[in-house]
Structure formats: structure tokens, C-alpha cells
Amino acid sequence: METELPAIAILPVPFSPEQILVALAVLIPVLVIFNLFLISEGVFESIGLRFYQAVLVTAGALVGSLIDIPLIPVGEDVIAVNVGGAVIPLFVTIEMVGRGRVSRPKSLTAVGIVAVVAYAAATPVPGLGITMPFYVAPLAGAVTGLLLARGCRAAPGIAYAGGTMGTLLGADIFNLADPEVFSALTGDGPTVLTIGGAGIFDGIFVTGILAVILAAYAGRGLRKKGGVCPQEGGE
């Protein structure tokens, strides 16, 4: 004997095109920022930070990228420093060097090399700021880190120091120190020029992340092939 069961229809809840657009406008940035958070947290762990330190630095960099601290008044204009794009990368670099995870001479050399490359590639644009192709600084930082560390595990840390501090020095500070460039950027009215500041996707923050990833993967490949880094403990 067969028993008939009641059928229940599951109907999709209708959404208007406007509601779908609003949902996508909210979800996509949230997913992008969440993935960026996960990637950057892993990157900071790879250069020697503990888990909680990596989380704090990542969260601080994302939130701090929206915070500018006025630093030097120049007439009616102001030179400010961005927390996420300048202050936190500086502290991370100092922490790495201070704890001996990366060599001080090699880090300074990397900063100097990347600064020269960044200064040559940077273009001051009145009304916009200082622009540079996004791939230049990460590549310069990664290559410099790999060469100075000879493919060893210190390469990502040196790449981070060179990529972030070199870009700050070469692209931002060197250009702002040029009176002609400063005048062109400020224009006629009062202007705030921010060192290392361009919102959540600040060039310095992204440069550090990409430089570490490139150096880590390339260094791993070199070590697998052999012939580099005979002693992982030293530099």
C-alpha cells in the first residue's frame, strides 16, 4: 500500500535588481578586504611576527590607512604621515631589524636600492599625488631581498623592508623634498600631502605584501633547485 506524502514547493524569494546591486556593493568590498586581511596576516607571520602580532599589524594597517597625522606645516600646506601606509611599516621594519631577523646593513642596502628605483619610476601628478606603476616597487623589493639574502629565508624580510621603506623614501620623501615638485602638487590652495597615504589599498601596504610573497615563492623555488643558501641559519 502506497502512502502519498504532501508535496512542499520551495519557491525562491524574489529580489529586485536594486536590492541585488546593493547586496553586491556591500558583499564584494567585504570579501576583498577579508581576503586581503587573511593574506597579509600570513605574510606578516612569514617575516617572523607571531600570530597575534600579525593580526594586530594587519588590522592596524587596514584601519590606520584611513588615518593621517599632520606632521610638518609648510606655509598654508601640511605634510602628513599615514598610519597604515607609513607608521606601521616603519615599526615592523624596526622590529625585524631590532630582533635580528634581518641584517641591518642588508636592510639599509635594500632600502637604498629600492628608493633609487622608486624615485626614477615615480611621477608627481598635480591634483592627484605621486603615481608609480604598481609592479615596480614590489619587484624591486623582492629582487633586492633575494639577491642580498642569497635566496635564504631572510629574503622576504629584507624584501619587505626594502619595498616599503624604499618606496616611502624614494617616491614620497625625495619628491616632497623637491621645491618644484612640492609647489606643483600643492597648487594654489591649502593642501595636505600625505606620506604613504592612499586609503585601504595604499601603495606602500600593497607593496610590502607583494614583495614578501614574491620573495618567499621565488626563494623557495631556488632552495628546491639547490645551490643556494647552504646554511639556513645565517645570512
CA–CA gap between residue 79 and residue 98 (Å, rounded): 28
Q: 37-54 as b/e, with b when 16 or more CB fall inside 10 Å?
A: eeebbbbbbbbbbeeeeb
Residue 160: which pLDDT band, with cuts at 50, 70 and 90? Answer: very high
Give the amino acid at 90. Answer: L
Q: CA 22 from chain center: how many Å? A: 29
Torsions phi, psi for 182 (to 5 deg): -60, -45
Domain membership of residue 175 (yes or no) is yes
Work out the number of other CB atoms within 10 angstroms of the CB of residue 173: 16
Q: What is the pLDDT of residues 35-48, one digit of tens each?
A: 767 777 778 888 88
Domain membership of residue 9 (yes or no) is no
Domain membership of residue 235 (yes or no) is no
For the chain, what is the domain count? 1
Domain membership of residue 30 (yes or no) is yes
Give the amino acid at 201. Answer: F
195 SS3 class: strand
- E strands, the chain, in order: 68-74, 77-82, 123-125, 129-131, 192-195
Work out the number of other CB atoms within 10 angstroms of the CB of residue 75: 7
Highest mean pLDDT among 30-39, 161-170, 209-218: 161-170
Between 123 and 16, the higher pLDDT residue: 123
CA–CA gap between residue 44 and residue 165 (Å, rounded): 16
CA–CA gap between residue 146 and residue 207 (Å, rounded): 16
Q: CA 24 from chain center: how many Å? A: 26
Domain membership of residue 233 (yes or no) is no
Residue 122, all three cell numbers: 615615480
Domain membership of residue 120 (yes or no) is yes
- Please state, rounded to an integer, the average pLDDT across all residues of the chain: 81
Domain membership of residue 4 (yes or no) is no
Burial (CB count <10 Å: 0-12, 13-18, 19+), residue 55: middle
pLDDT at 156 > cutoff 80:
yes
What is the residue range of 66's domain? 17-225
Q: What is the pLDDT of residues 170-215, one digit of tens each?
A: 999 999 898 888 888 887 778 888 888 764 445 788 888 889 888 8
Domain membership of residue 89 (yes or no) is yes
pTM of the shown model: 0.81
Alpha carbon separation from 144 to 35, 96, 103, 123, 184 (Å, rounded) = 27, 17, 13, 22, 32
pLDDT at residue 151, rounded to an integer: 66
Please say whether the dihedral angle defined by the alpha carbons of residues 96, 102, 103 and 107, taken in this order, is positive or negative. Answer: negative
pLDDT at residue 187, rounded to an integer: 75
In this prediction, what percent of the chain has a pLDDT beyond 70? 80
Give the amino acid at 21. Answer: L
